Structure 1
C-alpha cells in the first residue's frame, strides 16, 4: 500500500468510528425518549383508583 492509501484508510476508519459513536449516542437518547413516552402514556391510561367502587 502506498502512504496515501494507508492515510485514506486510517482517515476512513476514524470517520467510521466517529459515526458509530454518534449513532450509539443517538440510540441511547432515542431509547430514553421512548421509555419516558411509554411511561407517560401508561400513566394517562391508568384508571383513577380512588374513583372505583369495588364491592
Structure 2
C-alpha cells in the first residue's frame, strides 16, 4: 500500500471513528441516567435513604 492510499484511508476513517465515539458517549450518558433512575426507584421502593448512606 502506498503512502497516498494510507493517507486517504486514514482521512476516510477518522470521521467514522469520531461518529462512533460520539455515539458511545451518548449511549454511556443514557445508560448512566437509566442506572441512576433505576437505583433511585429501587431505593424508594425499599424506603432506603440513598443520600444518607455513606459507604467508605
For the aligned pair, the TM-score class normalised by the smaller chain equals: 0.7 to 0.9
Q: Which runs of 5+ in 2 are unaligned?
A: 49-56
Match of 2:18 in 1: 17
RMSD: 1.3
Greater radius of gyration (CA): 1
Greater fraction of residues in helix = 1
The answer for unaligned runs of 5 or more in structure 1 is: 48-55
- Structure 1 CA distance, aligned partners of 2:36 and 2:8? 42
The list of structure 1 runs, each at least 4 consecutive aligned residues, that deviate by more than 4 angstroms after superposition, is none
Higher relative contact order (CA 8 A, sep 6+): 2
